[in-house]
Chain A
Amino acid sequence: MTIISIVGIGIISTILAVLLRQSQKPELALLISLAAGITIFSMILDKLKYVVEVLNSLITKANIEPAYFSVIIKIIGIAYIAEFGAQISRDAGEETIASKIELGAKVVMMVLALPILLALMDLITKILP
């Protein structure tokens, strides 16, 4: 029944935001969308945790370095959080701030991905005689 709650919260917050915008109070509409976002995210958090646990148990069965997969999961999380922040900024009409958030997220993702890139380069140099 989680999906009904999520959709309900979404529809109610949308109606509220539209009404607030029409009544010339866009700052309150922004707060409503922020609150709705945080609520929905907290509702799916425990289910997301379960998914990540299952993926981790699958990784231990394979003969792969688990650190690589934890990096990918972190990157997906960063992408979600950055998108959330950037969308809020866009809703408020701050396109510049949104693009800065995205830039920051990309840099952090690249830093996290560097160990994978280094491992790949190491493998390639090992193969070459």
Chain B
Amino acid sequence: MGIVDFLTLWVKDIVIVFVLISIMGIIIPNSSMKRYIDMIIGFLIIIVIIAPIVKLVHRNFAVDKVPLWDSKIQTEFEHDDRLDKIQKQQMESIYVGKIEGEIAELIHENTEYEIVELRLSICEDGERYGGIEQLEIDLQRSQGQEQISKGVILVDNIDSISIGDERETNSTMVEIKDDKIREAISSRYDIAKEDIKMFLNTSGEDGLNEKDSRSN
């Protein structure tokens, strides 16, 4: 109830009471009883004037803030759906990001591979909401200190070259069945092992192997 409605009701009550009392004044007898009737009518007028103030005190109204409070509620209702959607999207992206970071760390600690790309889909509804449905990890061999120490010059992955209509790519993906890392991810995130797919990016490795064999 807005402050204007509140004041309207209050004034309406007071006006109706005064009209009623003036009508009753005609039928009040002119005797010694008149004083007592007047006193009781006075009580009633005080009640009518005070009762809304009591409501005001108990609802903790701040009269100057009431219009602001009203508009706040209105905007909340207007943007409710959109806010929910945005909030859900943000939550999901933060959640996925965190899981990706954890898996990357897990792989980095346990294997010699490093993550190139990670694709995961999460359950959208049901009891397993938020659980990982499917996980696809693209890996490549870690280009760390060991290889540099061998004196091998590493070349960055060459992007796919296209000449005319023909497309030639030097990146090949091979599915790997590393049970150790699968086990670790499966136990940590409660996913079936079959839902975890890992691919090894073998691009450039053939060349490296050739160079290695030549130097040997």
Contacts and interface: CB of A to CB of B under 8 A. Distances in A.
Helix, strand, loop or mixed for chain B's interface? helix
Interface in A63-83: 63-64, 68-69, 71-73, 75-76, 79-80, 82-83
Interface in A108-129: 109-110, 113, 116-117, 119-120, 123-124, 126-127
B158 interface: no
Contact of A63 (B9, B54, B58): B9
Interface residues of B, number: 32
B40 A80 contact: no
Main secondary structure of the interface of A (DSSP, over half): helix
B46 A120 contact: yes
A66 B12 CA distance: 15
B47 to A, nearest CB: 6
A79 B40 CA distance: 13
Given A117-B43, A124-B50, A127-B57, A55 B33 contact: no
Contacts of B47: 64, 68, 116, 119-120, 123
A72 B27 CA distance: 12
Nearest to A79: B33
Given A72-B41, A116-B44, A51 B27 contact: yes
B24 interface: yes
Given A62-B17, A123-B47, A83 B37 contact: no
Contact of B50 (A68, A102, A105, A123): A123
A49 interface: no
Given A63-B9, A83-B31, A127-B53, A76 B37 contact: yes
Contacts of A102: 32-33
Contacts of A58: 16, 19-20
Given A119-B47, A123-B54, A76 B13 contact: no
6 shortest A-B CB distances, which residue pairs?
A62-B16, A79-B33, A113-B40, A83-B31, A126-B54, A116-B43
Given A109-B36, A113-B40, A126-B58, 4 more contacts: A62-B20, A64-B47, A68-B44, A120-B47
Interface of B: 9, 12-13, 16-17, 19-20, 23-24, 27-29, 31-34, 36-37, 39-41, 43-44, 46-48, 50-51, 53-54, 57-58
